[in-house]
């Protein structure tokens, strides 16, 4: 390793680990950062050993990453404690001696990953570094230089080995954006719905979509707008559409168990105000995605969305199965159109066709896609000739089902033929879902009649509100 490229230890959160690679890959591409692995990472390990060309690169990466917890400049790495200290003693001191000047306060932090050790043991681990020429005063609150000593005992907290597998020492450089997850928690959010997206996943989606300052971002199945919050947080100007009038007007049944009626001012806009993001909010509009109303030449920078799967909410579009159906002139002003089923193949076909027309080249569509684990192979994913699939990570939902977070990057404009209808040839998740649950015909009839009843109530309420 050349000394101009420093080694860094990236320490990740052990949560939603399956999205780690996709997030970091997107951020490296967004900021045009080069990163090289010193050691090929293993999926189960919470750390990566890497090289960057400059420390600014690692700071930039961490300034956007929600998977990343901490990052340190690695001074020594050993398989045992004695190997670590031997290597640290051999480290070219002239490269780091300025951190030990008398004017610089310092602190050494000890972490034993997956093993509890007493405070006294921690102190003796710190004292083992007494050979370092530190001259400044110790400051435990706001040190000028924070060093980190980490012993890694694997990931099984209930059964850690006697000795650590790996030991690391270095200078803390920066932290990731984990605090944002708490700030955007659904527990304290003004307006949520039954399918509001968890903030960590929303932020990961916005990162995978490479959203940057000034981008125009659309969620065409916006619901309570969780994805807009994340996109706005990273500088996007956001707008959304949804077929559900009541949802967009904050008039659906309350989601929180203890809440009996919704507050008057619950809305996507109120969420934006809650997080001081109003200046990023363009609007939300009631729209059936199968009937696009956008000007042909209008382009978005990114589309992030969680389309309906038909399990917790209906998958519907405007339409009727009645032949030659015509609404009488006098009913037109208050008419609320009937809806028909919107199959998964059509939803994803429409999404990629829409994105082919309305996304800039290089722009990304980031969306969830439900699958049956046993049936899964890449061929069953939606695809379109104008897009390349750049990320595909799985989140397990149950033993048999999962959803995959897909990122499609637009590589070219569609031809005239490709601007026409586009249906993805993918199997209907719902059919198999209910088969797998061995839902009896009666149960299914009851459940479907409940959805219909809910829809009738919604329909009536929408009428009374318009
Ligand atoms: C899984 S939810 C999205 C939840 C959203 N990400 C959130 O955080 O609240 C899917 C949304 O798609 C909407 N939807 C269903 N069919 C639609 C259609 N044809 N056009 C537009 N939106 C539709 C539903 O009303 C629902 O709000």
pLDDT at 31: 98
pLDDT at 388: 97
Mean pLDDT of 426-450: 69
Cα 190 to ligand 1 centre (Å): 19
What is the CB neighbour count within 10 angstroms for residue 131?
9
155 pLDDT above the threshold of 60: yes
Q: Where are the beta strands (DSSP E) in 129-236?
A: 145-152, 166-175, 216-219
CA 304 to chain centre: 10
Instruction: Note the pLDDT tens digit of each residue in 350-392.
Output: 999 999 999 999 999 999 999 988 888 888 899 999 999 999 9
Q: Delimit the domains of the chain by residue range.
A: 6-176, 181-460
Q: How far apart are CA 168 and CA 9, in angstroms?
A: 8
292 beta partners: none
Q: How far apart are CA 142 and CA 136, in angstroms?
A: 13
Closest CA to 66 of 17, 7, 29, 9: 17
Closest CA to 39 of 49, 30, 47: 49
pLDDT at 441: 61
51 pLDDT above the threshold of 80: yes
**Rounded to whole angstroms, what are the CA distances from 279 to 91, 229, 244?**
50, 12, 25
- Note every long-range contact of 391-395, with CB atoms under 8 Å and residues 24 or more positions apart, other chains counting: 391/21, 391/22, 391/25, 391/26, 391/208, 392/22, 393/18, 393/19, 393/21, 393/22, 394/18, 395/16, 395/18, 395/19, 395/201
> What burial letters (b/e) apply to 383-408, b meaning 16+ CB within 10 Å?
bbebbeebbebeeeeeeebbbbbbbb
Top pLDDT among 346 and 69 is at 69
Q: How far apart are CA 113 and CA 120, in angstroms?
A: 17
Top pLDDT among 33 and 420 is at 33
Atom of ligand 1 nearest to the CA of 342: 19
CATH of domain 181-460: 3.40.50.150
Cα 291 to ligand 1 centre (Å): 14
Residue nearest to atom 4 of ligand 1 (CA): 223
Atom of ligand 1 nearest to the CA of 305: 6
Q: Determine the residue of 223, 250, 306 to mutate for testing ligand 1's pocket, defined as the one with the most ligand atoms within 8 A of the Cβ atom.
A: 223
Confidence label for 325 from pLDDT (cuts 50, 70 and 90): confident
Instruction: Note the pLDDT tens digit of each residue in 273-297.
Output: 999 999 999 999 999 999 989 998 9
pLDDT at 326: 84
pLDDT at 462: 61
Q: Determine the residue of 185, 191, 195 to mutate for testing ligand 1's pocket, defined as the one with the most ligand atoms within 8 A of the Cβ atom.
A: 195
CB-based pocket (< 6 A), ligand 1: 193, 195-197, 221, 223-224, 226-227, 241-244, 247, 288-290, 306, 308, 313, 315-317, 342
* Ramachandran quadrant class, 397 (left: phi over 0; alpha: psi -120 to 50; beta: rest): alpha
Contact in structure between 248 and 270 (CB atoms under 8 Å):
no
Cα 240 to ligand 1 centre (Å): 10
130 pLDDT above the threshold of 60: yes
CATH, domain 6-176, list 3.10.50.40, 3.30.2130.30, 3.40.50.360, 3.30.450.20: 3.30.2130.30
């Amino acid at each position: 390793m050349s000394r101009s490229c420093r080694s860094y230890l990236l320490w990740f959160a052990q949560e939603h680990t399956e999205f780690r690679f996709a997030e970091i890959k997107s951020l490296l591409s967004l900021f045009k950062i080069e990163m090289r692995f010193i050691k090929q990472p293993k999926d189960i390990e919470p750390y990566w050993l890497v090289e960057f060309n400059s420390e600014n690169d690692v700071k930039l990466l961490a300034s956007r990453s929600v998977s990343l917890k901490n990052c340190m400049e690695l001074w020594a790495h050993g398989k045992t404690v004695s190997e670590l200290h031997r290597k640290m003693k051999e480290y070219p001191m002239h490269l780091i001696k300025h951190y030990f000047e008398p004017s610089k306060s310092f602190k050494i932090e000890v972490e034993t990953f997956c093993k509890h050790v007493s405070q006294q043991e921690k102190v003796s681990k710190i004292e083992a570094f007494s050979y370092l020429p530190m001259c400044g005063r110790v400051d435990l609150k706001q040190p000028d230089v924070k060093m980190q000593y980490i012993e890694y005992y694997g990931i099984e907290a209930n059964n850690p080995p006697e000795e650590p597998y790996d030991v690391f020492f270095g200078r803390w450089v920066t932290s990731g954006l984990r605090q944002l997850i708490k700030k955007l928690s659904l527990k304290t959010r003004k307006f949520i719905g039954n399918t509001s997206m968890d903030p960590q996943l929303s932020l990961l989606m916005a990162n995978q979509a490479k959203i940057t300052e000034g981008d125009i971002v659309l969620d065409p199945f916006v619901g309570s707008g969780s994805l807009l919050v994340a996109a706005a947080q990273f500088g996007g100007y956001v707008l959304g559409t949804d077929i559900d009038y009541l949802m967009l007007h904050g008039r659906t049944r309350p989601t929180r168990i203890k809440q009996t009626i919704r507050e008057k001012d619950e809305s996507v806009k109120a969420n934006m105000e809650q997080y001081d993001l109003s200046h990023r909010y363009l609007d939300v509009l009631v729209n059936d995605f199968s009937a696009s109303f956008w000007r042909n030449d209008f382009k978005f920078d990114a589309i992030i969305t969680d389309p309906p799967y038909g399990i917790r909410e209906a998958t519907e579009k405007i339409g009727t199965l009645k032949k030659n159906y015509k609404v009488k002139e006098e009913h037109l002003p208050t008419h609320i159109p009937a809806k028909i089923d919107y199959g998964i193949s059509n939803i994803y076909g429409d999404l990629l066709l829409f994105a082919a027309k309305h996304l800039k080249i290089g722009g990304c569509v980031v969306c969830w896609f439900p699958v049956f684990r046993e049936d899964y192979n890449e061929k069953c994913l939606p695809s379109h000739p104008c897009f390349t699939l750049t990320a595909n990570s799985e989140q397990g939902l149950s033993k048999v089902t999962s959803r995959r977070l897909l990122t499609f990057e637009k590589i070219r404009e569609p031809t005239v033929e490709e601007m026409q209808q586009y249906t993805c040839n993918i199997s209907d998740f719902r059919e198999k879902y209910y088969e797998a649950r061995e839902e009896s015909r009666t149960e299914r009839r009851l459940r479907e009649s409940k959805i219909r009843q809910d829809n009738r109530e919604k329909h009536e309420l929408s009428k009374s509100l318009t």
